[in-house]
């Protein structure tokens, strides 16, 4: 009975990570209520247990501590140089990152044998919810209140997120995890699921996520040249501006088309350039909690960034907020996990690390997209399987 209750509580916590602030009342939403209570409960329940930490566990701890402390320190730089004062909601979200991560660590350390098995089961349910809501949005033009398309006649799916790129990124990371962790091979059901997934990505205009998924399937799953050619043709067909009616806003024309005069490419380039300049301007310290909007707002007006106030890259957001040390620590941690998986011939899992970083570099619009941290932790768990298993010490 107690085990079932604990499993249900963890499931609700994981689900709230994906729901985020899409269902909220003022500044209150499920994750903000569940996370602190769960952390207190775990500490009280396991206070007399002492799990052994592997080197990778300790490295992850140090990443969290450096991220937290250096970003807080960077807020001083942001206040002095740009007069940035974090908003209450941003400050709460920043502290939530670490409460969420510590919850995952505690859950994992005290249940290493079953953690990934349970996460896999929970993510199957989450993935199904994503598909159902996305299809609902496509056919009804209705969205959750957080979506930027809420109240419009545009049927681009965003599910629990503000924009379609964030949704497509998390949607694809879930899919990659499930087929990798469960070693799912091509059959009638998985093929049908792939078609649905690609169809939703087409509506979301997610070129990077689609490319990453096609590449994974080409390398590790679909041996049939005919089938992968069909998928590639399907992807390219909807990426050709000559094949779609540009007046049909309900079919995501603006997101699917790859135009030669697409100004967004220049905007993105200048956003990246301005983000890199923050290293020098902030004396490598960064500007603090969710400071990218204020930093880019005061960036060189000669650079064409078209009033865009996010670098649209998770890694560059880390750079602006936490400085070069946090950025390098994040890269080193990812490279180390990637190296461990390669060393143990876990090539599909190693591919997930590459996919994660490529998708987040090109798609993410905020540090406060909670599933990002869950997947980073999952990859750490994959690599940690190849270290000495932890045991409880009474």
- pLDDT tens digits for 22-48? 888 888 899 999 999 999 988 888 777
Q: How many CB atoms lie within 10 A of CB 235?
A: 17
Q: Does the pLDDT at position 178 exceed 90?
A: yes
Question: Residue 39 and residue 237: Cα distance in Å, rounded?
Answer: 48
Transcribe 192-237 into DSSP letters.
HHHHHHHHHHHHHT-HHHHHHHHHHHHHHT---HHHHHHHHHHHHH
Q: Does the pLDDT at position 376 exceed 90?
A: yes
Q: Which span out of 134-138, 180-184, 203-207, 254-258 was modeled with the highest average pLDDT?
A: 134-138
* pLDDT tens column, 36-84: 999 998 888 877 777 778 888 889 989 999 999 999 999 888 888 888 8
For the chain, the domains span 2-44+82-384
Q: Does the pLDDT at position 198 exceed 60?
A: yes
pLDDT score recorded for residue 241: 39
pLDDT score recorded for residue 187: 80
What would the mean pLDDT of 122-148 be, rounded to a whole number?
Answer: 94
Question: Residue 157 and residue 275: Cα distance in Å, rounded?
Answer: 29
Q: Does the pLDDT at position 240 exceed 50?
A: no
Between vectors from CA 354 to CA 129 and to CA 378, what angle results, nearest 5°? 50
- Confidence category of residue 387, pLDDT binned at 50, 70, 90: low
Q: Which two tokens stand for residue 282?
A: 């902030």
pLDDT score recorded for residue 357: 94
Residue 378's nearest CA partner among 72, 27, 60, 150 is: 60
Whether the full predicted model's pTM is greater than 0.85, yes or no, is yes
Transcribe 309-342 into DSSP letters.
-S-S-HHHHHHHHH-HHHHHHHHHHHHHHHHHHH
For residue 177, give the H/E element and its range.
Answer: helix 164-181
* Bridge partner residues of 110 (DSSP): none
Contact by Cβ (8 Å): 351, 173: no
What would the mean pLDDT of 378-389 be, rounded to a whole number?
Answer: 80
Question: Residue 328 and residue 284: Cα distance in Å, rounded?
Answer: 11
Q: How many Cα atoms occupy the beta-carbon half-sphere of 295 within 13 Å?
A: 35
Exposed e or buried b for every residue in 41-56, given b needs 16+ CB within 10 A?
ebeeebeeeebebbeb
- The separation between CA 211 and the C-alpha centre of its own chain, rounded to angstroms, equals 17
pLDDT score recorded for residue 299: 66
What would the mean pLDDT of 319-339 be, rounded to a whole number?
Answer: 93
pLDDT score recorded for residue 263: 53
- Confidence category of residue 291, pLDDT binned at 50, 70, 90: confident
Least confident of 20-24, 346-350, 353-357: 20-24
Residue 20's nearest CA partner among 149, 116, 162 is: 162
Q: Does the pLDDT at position 189 exceed 70?
A: yes
Question: Residue 35 and residue 371: Cα distance in Å, rounded?
Answer: 14
């Amino acid at each position: 009975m107690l085990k079932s209750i604990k499993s249900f509580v963890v499931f609700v916590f994981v689900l709230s990570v994906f729901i985020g602030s899409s269902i909220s009342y003022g500044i209150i939403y499920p994750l903000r209520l569940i996370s602190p209570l769960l952390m207190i409960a775990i500490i009280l329940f396991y206070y007399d247990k002492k799990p052994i930490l592997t080197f990778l566990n300790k490295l992850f701890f140090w990443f969290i501590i450096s991220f937290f402390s250096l970003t807080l320190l960077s807020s001083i730089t942001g206040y002095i140089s740009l007069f940035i004062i974090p908003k209450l909601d941003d400050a709460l979200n920043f502290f939530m990152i670490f409460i969420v991560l510590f919850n995952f660590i505690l859950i994992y350390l005290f249940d290493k044998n079953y953690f990934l098995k349970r996460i896999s089961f929970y993510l199957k349910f989450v993935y199904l919810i994503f598909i159902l809501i996305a299809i609902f949005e496509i056919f009804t033009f209705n969205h959750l209140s957080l979506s930027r398309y809420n109240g419009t006649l545009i049927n681009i799916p965003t599910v629990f997120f503000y924009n379609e790129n964030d949704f497509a990124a998390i949607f694809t990371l879930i899919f990659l995890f499930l087929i990798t962790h469960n070693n799912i091979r091509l059959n009638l059901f998985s093929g049908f699921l792939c078609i649905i997934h690609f169809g939703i990505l087409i509506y979301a205009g997610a070129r990077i996520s689609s490319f990453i998924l096609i590449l994974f399937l080409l390398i590790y799953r679909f041996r049939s040249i005919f089938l992968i050619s069909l998928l590639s043709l399907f992807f390219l067909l909807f990426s050709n501006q000559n094949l779609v009616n540009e007046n049909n806003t309900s079919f995501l024309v603006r997101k699917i088309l790859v135009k030669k005069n697409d100004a967004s490419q220049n905007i993105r380039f200048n956003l990246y350039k301005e983000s890199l300049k923050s290293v020098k301007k902030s004396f490598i310290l960064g500007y603090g909690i969710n400071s990218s909007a204020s930093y880019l707002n005061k960036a060189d007006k000669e650079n064409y960034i078209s009033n865009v106030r996010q670098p649209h890259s998770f890694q560059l957001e880390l750079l602006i907020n936490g400085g070069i040390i946090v950025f390098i620590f994040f890269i080193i941690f990812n490279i180390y996990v990637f190296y461990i998986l390669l060393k143990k011939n876990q090539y599909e899992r190693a591919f997930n690390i590459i996919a994660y970083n490529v998708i987040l570099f090109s798609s993410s619009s905020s540090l406060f997209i909670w599933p990002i941290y869950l997947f980073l932790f999952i990859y750490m768990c994959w690599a940690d399987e190849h270290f000495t298993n932890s045991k409880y010490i009474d």
